[in-house]
Each structure stands twice: as structure tokens, then as C-alpha cells.
Amino acid sequence: MGATPEATSNPCKYILVTGGVISGIGKGVIASSTGFLLRTQGLRVTSIKIDPYLNIDAGTLTPLDHGEVFVLDDGGEVDLDLGNYERFLDITLTRDNNITTGKIYRQVIERERRGDYLGKTVQVVPHITDAIQDWVERVSKLPVDDSGLPPDVCIVEMGGTVGDIESAPFIEAMRQFQFRVGHDNFCLIHVSLVPVVGSVNEQKTKPTQASVRDLRGLGLSPDLIACRSSKPLEPGVTNKISMFCHVPVANVLAVHDCNSVYHVPLLLYQQGMLNVLRTRLGLNGPHSEPGSSDLFQRWNSLTERHDRLLDEVTIALVGKYTNLHDSYISVVKSLEHAALACNKKLKVLWVEATDLEAPKQKEDPVKFHEAWKSVCTANGILVPGGFGVRGTEGMVLAAKWARENRVPYLGICLGLQIAVIEYARNVCGLDGANSTEMDEDTEHPVVIFMPEISKTHMGGTMRLGSRATVFTEASGSAVTRRLYGGAAVIHERHRHRFEVSPEYVASLEAAGLQFVGKDERGERMIIMELPGHPYFVATQFHPEYKTRPLRPVPVFLGLILAASGGLEKHLESLATASATKP
């Protein structure tokens, strides 16, 4: 059934999510969870993330400072919270769903240069604030799912913390926006911290009171307060926050630490969030939308399965940015989703690639041996994407171990290039084979720079976004193609500058390596496999960007299955299902 007339005729409802006391408090998960609950009611939901930094986008930010750079279908390089939105809401966003100060100021300055302001003095108020409001209103109407219809609800997450200097124009814009769209179409959720201090573990409300006071002083009053704490709120604490922050007791939500982020929507549901939003925004529903009727039940089953898992599967993640786990958040989520689908409890062994290299044995023998212990004892090895030479030799050693010891291996982007370099050196006999990114003067450049991309501009100049991968005619029995259900063409997201050199493909394939997926012209090597190995697969694209809790990515599913001994049985079941299709 399609959307009901009421769902399509009503104006869009806006839910603003702000944060107080500290940054990194979990606004993104709460915003995503709120959207998920609305999705279970058959409402179409979109999301916008506001990042107050001056960068145009997240593409040039180091993962060690800001976490993973998430890539969208249209090639937008955005904040990792948009990955949360896509995973929780099962939607496809665009680069315009991520607003930055840089984007807004660039737009206003370009308009000023064109003379659009007719000689007026261009100011933060009204020109910057109007541009922000216009942007939010425009993007909120863009379809984000297969229905092709505009969303019913738009969730706007305000990055940073209330009171930050850089977020002031956005707060003022939202203050004005509540009157532009009307009181019945605007709701504010404020996420705050309730710390537990002292020897008696007392929960303190003063930080939340101060944060709400700052927010109200800026012209915004919260309708709901989501209180983050290490343990459930005590009744007296809830009443105190209600009294001093001017919200009903029912609108104070306790969001304590859970077993996983998948439990957060259930926690909010149990406290009546849907009822509060229905009343506050006048939401009709539930509506009959495809896939929404049993969505809550399937999610609930997912969390129950998560809590009951006993059989463990260990994956060694050999990366360059392991000091900040958010650098690989989509990779970890992909592993989690695949492990849940296989009824396995995931254990990630974080291995800093430089710790595997020979110099580390002298510098820090303990770290060296711990790193190699993780690699040698893991059920599977994963080498994710990255840039620069640091740690690449450690990654090559990890790939060599996986190949020689028949340990399941998945390489992503750089991980594919690493596998090719290792194979070229140790199987093809090409001593010193390398990528020109790591060694411009290498005698055997098996990985080269993509020639059509700018070497001087860093931002937005990579091969980005959703691209087609065509499986070769000879790939019928390839593991990857079978995992993708025998599809002839798949579309996945890319983010890279370097690729396997076409000049070395024949030599590599003659030595046993197979490139089973290529671009539409057959020039770029996209998917690589090693026949005869339990699971030695690598992709130039980033499959982790399209994972969903209820729909894991095929190549990650393959890694977990191979690491837990269930791959062959799964492939047989896929073949049987394909044979029985009419």
C-alpha cells in the first residue's frame, strides 16, 4: 500500500536535536533512534546534520580528530552521523543533508558577488540565518527512499554543544525557524548529561539545568530532555529536572548506558516517546508503508538475539587509525550486522599496523608481540581503507599471513591494494612492488594514481560515490558474485585515488589472482579473489557504507561466515534459493 492521503498532504514536521554539557554525548544515536521509531509508524523520515566547522565538508578531516568520513551515493563526504541515519532509517541521503558553516558562508558570499542582495549590507542576521533556514526547508522536501515522496518528518541534529561560539548563527536560525514553520510543526529534543559522582553514586542535575537555561536564553525551549547517564535515572532526579527545566515529567527521558546502540530505540519507546511526539506534533498514524508493519518486531528480535549470543568470532582489524575506534565505525557496524545475522558474538582485535613492522620489535617488543598474537589467533583478518605510507608494510605482513595460513581475509580499498602488493612481491616475484602513493620510484608500480584526478586539490577530487561494478563473464563461480546473489552488476560507494595498474593485471592473474569485478569499461580492477583459499577477498569500493542492521553487506557476511566455518553452507543455500525461483 502507498502512503495515506494524510501522510502526503500534511506539512513537514521538524524535530531539532541539540546537546548540552559535553560534546560526543550521543545526539546522533538519539536522533537516529527517534527517526527509527517514527519509521515504525509508517512515516517517511529524513535527517539533516549541522556541523558548525568552517570546512566545506568532512573530506579533508583526519579520522583521528573527527572519526570516519562517511561517503554518500552522490559522492558527498560527510560527518559519520549521517551513516547512523542511513543505517537506522534505511534511507539514502545526499551531500546537502550535511550543513557546514563553510557551505553556508560560501553560498552567501557567492550570492553577494552576483549582486543578489542588491547592494545591501550582508550580515549574519538576516542573511546567514535565512540561508540556513532556506537550506533546511529545501532539503527536508527531498525524497530519501524508494517511494519518491517527500518526507513527513525531518530530524535536524545540531552539532557541538549549546553555547559554542561557532554554532551561534545556527541556534539563532533555528529560533527563527520555529516561527517560520509554526509551533505545531517544530519540536526540540535536548540531550544532556546527568553525571554520577561521589562515593554514593549520586546523580547530579545541575549541569542539565544550566544547559537548558543557556538554551532558553538563546530563545529555544526543549519539549523533551534526553538525559544521558551511566545508570537509569532515579525518580527524584527525573522530577527535579522536570521542575527546574520546565518540561512535564513524561517528557524527561532516561537514556542510560545499554548493551548496544540497537537497544536505544526500545528504551525510548518504553518511556513513551512516540506518544509525546504524536501529541506535540499532531502526528497521524500509524500509516501503511511497505516494510514498516513488522519493522519494530524485527528490530526487537535483533536486540534479543544480540543479548543471547554466546559463540564468539574474532576479527583482527589491522588499520592506521585504531587509536580512535570511530575512525572505522562503519566497518565495525558492518562486522556487527554480519555477526548478528550469523548468530555470532563479535570480538574485534584492534591492531595498529605499525606494531606489526620489524622496527617495533626493537622499539616496543611487548606491543610487537601483542599485535602479532592478535593477528595469529584471529578467526579472520580485515584491512580497511586509509591514506599514506605509515603502517602499510605492517598491513602487507598481515595479508601475507592470511594468504599463507589460509585465514579468511577481507581487504577494503587500501586493503585491496595491500593484497595486490603482497601477492606481487611474494608470489609473482616482483621484488619491491609497491604503490606509487607509498614509493613514487618503485620498480614495479602495481598500484598507480588515477590519471584524471587533480594532484593539487585534496577536497572532493577522489573517485567518489556510487559506481557500477560489472562481474566478469568468467566469475560465475566466484565467491563474491555468489554472495551478491549472482548479480551481473552491483553498485557500491568508492573513495580512493589509487588503483591497480592495468599493466600488471595479466601477470597477477597468470600467477593465480583473479579480478572478478571491474568497472564498466573493464579498465579498473574493483573486486579481487584468490581461488582455492577459504576466503581471500578484497574490494576497491567501500561496502561498509551501505550496511544495515537488518541487511548485512555480502562481503562482510562472507568474512564472518568463513571465519566461523559456515560459508559453504550459506553459498549452497543461496544456490538452492536461486534454483527454486520461478
* Parallel, antiparallel or unpaired: strands 434-435 and 186-193: unpaired
519: which 3 cell numbers?
A: 568497472
Active site residue 491: no
Question: How close are the terminal C-alpha atoms of the chain, in Å?
Answer: 24
22: which 3 cell numbers?
A: 559535553
**Does an H or E element contain 110, and which?**
helix 101-114
Instruction: Choose the catalytic residue: 306, 413, 428, 437.
Output: 413
Active site residue 413: yes
Instruction: Choose the catalytic residue: 127, 263, 542, 570.
Output: 542
Best CA proximity match to 491, nearest among 509, 473, 470, 463: 470
Cross-strand pairs, 77: 71
| Distance, CA of 86 to chain centre | 7
Instruction: Choose the catalytic residue: 336, 357, 544, 570.
Output: 544
**541-575 in b/e burial notation, b at 16+ Cβ within 10 A?**
bbbbbbbebeebbbbbbbbbbbbbebbeebbeebe
Q: What single string gives the DSSP state of each residue in 462-492?
A: SEEEEEEEEE-GGGTT-HHHHHTTT-SEEEE
The alpha-helical segments, DSSP class H, found in 235-364 are 235-245, 264-270, 273-281, 295-308, 329-341, 358-363
What is the 8-class DSSP label of residue 125? I
373: which 3 cell numbers?
A: 598474537
Cross-strand pairs, 154: 14, 46
Q: Are 13 and 152 in contact (CB under 8 A)?
A: yes
Cα separation of 23 and 159, whole Å?
Answer: 8
Cα separation of 89 and 317, whole Å?
Answer: 27
Active site residue 137: no
Tell me: cis bond preceding 126? Omega within 30 of 0 counts: yes
Cα separation of 558 and 409, whole Å?
Answer: 10
Q: What single string gives the DSSP state of each residue in 17-73?
A: EEE-SSSSSSHHHHHHHHHHHHHTTT--EEEEEEE-SSSSSSTTS-HHHH-PPEE-T
* Catalytic positions, written as ranges: 413, 542, 544
